[in-house]
Each structure stands twice: as C-alpha cells, then as structure tokens.
Chain A
C-alpha cells in the first residue's frame, strides 16, 4: 500500500515533468529529432531541362 502510493506519487510527478519536456517548445532546436535532408522537389526536372537547353541528351 505505502509502496504503491510512493511509486504513484513520484512517477506522477515524473510524468508531468516529462510531459512538459515534450510539449514545451525546444530551447534552440536541439531537442527536435534530426530530419533527413531530401533533394529539392523538381530538381531532377530542372537538370533535364538544363541539359536539353545545352543540346545534350538527358
């Protein structure tokens, strides 16, 4: 009974703290997960058009 109460109270406090860590805006962006860098959309099409303009086969 006492053990469960202690566990409940302390872990509830921890849960609140961790929840705040999730919902608060990141300090300097360092908390955000790193996103993969994809190529700019349409970059391939631009490259083909550029090569066509130069008279080469894409």
Chain B
C-alpha cells in the first residue's frame, strides 16, 4: 500500500511538472529528504530515484522553464571546486576506495544540485515551495519520532525514525540537528508564505511540526540536540522583538518539560559535564586527536571513510566518592574504526587542509549570504519583510546547524547546501526586484564598488 501511494506521489511530480516545470526540483528535494526508496519493500526499494528526479529536473529546466541570466556566486564556485576536489581525492589517493566511492556517489549529486537550485528558484513562490517541501518531508520523520517519544519508546540508538537505518535523516544525531535547524524555517514559512493563507489550521500545523521537531531531539537522546537546542533558543530570543515575553515562555517551557523528560535522557545529558567518564565522549576526543596526527602526515587527507583505519586507546576516568574527596581511576579501552562525530574533523581527515579551507570558506560565505538578506531594500516595502525575515531565519538555521555539526559528521549531507541555495536564490530575487524598481540599473552578482574618496585639494 505504501509503495503504491509513494509511486503515485512520484508520478504526480512528473505530471505536475508539465504545468510547473520546477516541480521536479521539488521532487528531487523530496526524495533527498524523505528517501522513499528506504520506506518501501518492493518496487521502489533500491531504485535510483534521486538520479531519475535530478535528470528529470535538469531536462525539464532546459526544455520548458524560463531561464534567468545568472552568474555563479563565489560560494557556488567554491562548492563546484569542493565537489571536483572530492572527486579527485576519491579516484586518486583515497585510502579505502570502495568506502570512498560509496560516499562520493551521493556527495557530488547533492553538491551539484545545490549549485543548480538557484537557477530554478527564480520566484518567491518557488523559494517558498522548496522550503515547504524540505520542511514537510522532514516532518514525516519528526512526527513519527515525536509520537514514539511521547509513547515512551525513545532512546539513543533505539528509536526508529520511520525506518530502521543509520544513514541520512534516519540517524538520531543528524535528525536532531537538522530538525532544530528547520524550526526557524518553519516559523518563517508560517509568517511569510504566500501559498497557504494564515488560519487556525496552519497555526496548528506549524505548532505541531515544531513540537515534533523538538520532541524528536529529546527522543534521539543525542547530546548534539541539547547544545544545538540551547543555541537555537538563544538566537531566536536575540532575534525576537518581544524578548521579555519570549524569554519567560521559554523558561516556563523548560521548567515544565524537565519532569516529563525520560530518565535516560537526563542521564545521557548529564554526561556533557563529565565527558571524560563517558566512553562515547572520550572516544570522540581520541578520534579528533588521531585526525590531527593523521593530516600532519597526509595533508591532502585520506579520502572518504578514512576513519575506518583509525585505532587508538581511549582514556576513561571513573570517579568514586563525594566531591573534594574523590578517588579517580583511569582505564584504557582499545577502539578501532570510530567515526569522526564532528563535521570539521570529518572534512579535515577526509579532504585534508585544502578541504577544510574550502569547507570553512563555504560555511562563512553561506552565513554571510543569508545575513546580508537582513538589510535588503527592494524598493517595495511590502516585499522587504519577506527577505529580511528569511535572512534572519536562515542565518539562525545555519548557525544552529553548525553548532550541531560539531558533534556529528554531516559536512557532506546536502541539507545545509540547500539552505544556502535558498539564500542565494533570495539574493538574486531581491536584486531583480531592485532592478525592476529602478534602484539598480543592471543585474550583477557583485556589489557595486565604492567610489574612491577624492583627496582634498
């Protein structure tokens, strides 16, 4: 039954694309987020859906869509260079070619699609539709995980989010980070979208989705979620107009929810303070130290999946007795092939110094692109709010995402790059509106040079 419904959904994307050519781009985003091929048992299982949708999106764009004259922005060029560098790394010096190839196979598609996305998201409605598709595809997983958490079946590594899998959004820490990062986007959609009129139903749907995104963070019991959640709350509070009201509501929500949190969640979160007693946290520190040593000898990195060759002893401390009179004992545990659990160390280990420079540049320029939307003036005051709020919310999303990325290896997952593509698209749209409203004379990606001050005579 599920297969039939999902096949109908895919066919609907293709049929609707004859009327709205950008629908296949939405179809690709839907496939990338929801991964319907993993939710089915026969027909779609293992089908190259992403490739089919990507090819369809590109062909429909070339044949039917109106093309905008766009220049690639610096950050898009950097993403292309990063994809090229990852390709060269995979096929030349990757230590474990099979593992590297497996990861490269989905990385390059996500990167190139993120570069392609701004060409298609050429109207404000398309931007909204793309964000709706991302949010509601994610919501399928968060609603499922949220209900299971409420029913008491959460737990680190125990709860199944729609499907039992440890990849993509179905992995607990990744889901917690991405869910938190999409809360600002969901809020923005409710406040600014032109597709669905504001009503009690849309308010309830928005509240329900945001609640499920929060619940799934608790259900995943990932420490990533606690830290990224705190940063998200702080950023939302800083960006809010009614700080006192929002602050009071947040504090009340936290106080009210603490007794309801499962004991396993509290136990796991308490290990943030005593990280050296926890094997998982100590292993991460050991992996990061191994990565730094590895790139000293291999400055270009070891290719995707290089962490599988690591082997080290993890120092774990155990404290007994009361504070001030504690007996600390240290034990060493042998660990092999431990994942990076940090996006920055993931890039450093796999792509080396050139990779981390590219990644950090993309990260900084991406947040700058979103941040710059906060001051947009299009010449039409009724439109300015749309861009400014989008800029603020995308900035918060990206920062939250990167805080979470410090505890989970999601550097090559496409979610951040899609948010970045949306920010680039919005920048192009704002510029086009400025030209239409005679605030700017020509379409140009680069900002106009400042006139040099004339020296006083």
Contacts and interface: CB of A to CB of B under 8 A. Distances in A.
Given A2-B148, A18-B16, A27-B124, A10 B137 contact: yes
Contact of B26 (A6, A18, A32, A33): A18
Contact of B144 (A2, A18, A27): A2
Contacts of B296: none
B136 interface: yes
B2 A22 contact: no
Contact of A22 (B16, B63, B65, B133): B16
B129 A7 contact: no
A10 B140 contact: yes
Contacts of B26: 18
Could you tell me the dominant secondary structure of chain B's interface residues?
helix
Interface residues of B, number: 41
A31 B20 contact: yes
Contacts of A5: 143-144, 147
A33 B122 contact: no
Contacts of B137: 10, 14
B34 to A, nearest CB: 8
Contacts of A20: 195-196
Given A11-B9, A33-B65, A6 B23 contact: no
Q: How large is the interface on A (under 10, 10 to 19, 20 to 34, 35 or more residues)?
A: 20 to 34
A21 B20 contact: yes
A27 B125 contact: yes
Nearest to B18: A33
A32 B22 CA distance: 10
B140 A6 contact: yes
Interface in B189-208: 195-196, 205
17 contacts: A2-B148, A6-B139, A6-B162, A10-B136, A10-B143, A11-B140, A13-B139, A15-B9, A17-B132, A21-B129, A21-B195, A24-B125, A29-B66, A30-B123, A31-B20, A34-B63, A34-B64
Considering the complex of A and B, which 6 residue pairs feature the smallest CB-CB distances, nearest first?
A6-B144, A6-B143, A10-B140, A14-B136, A33-B64, A10-B139
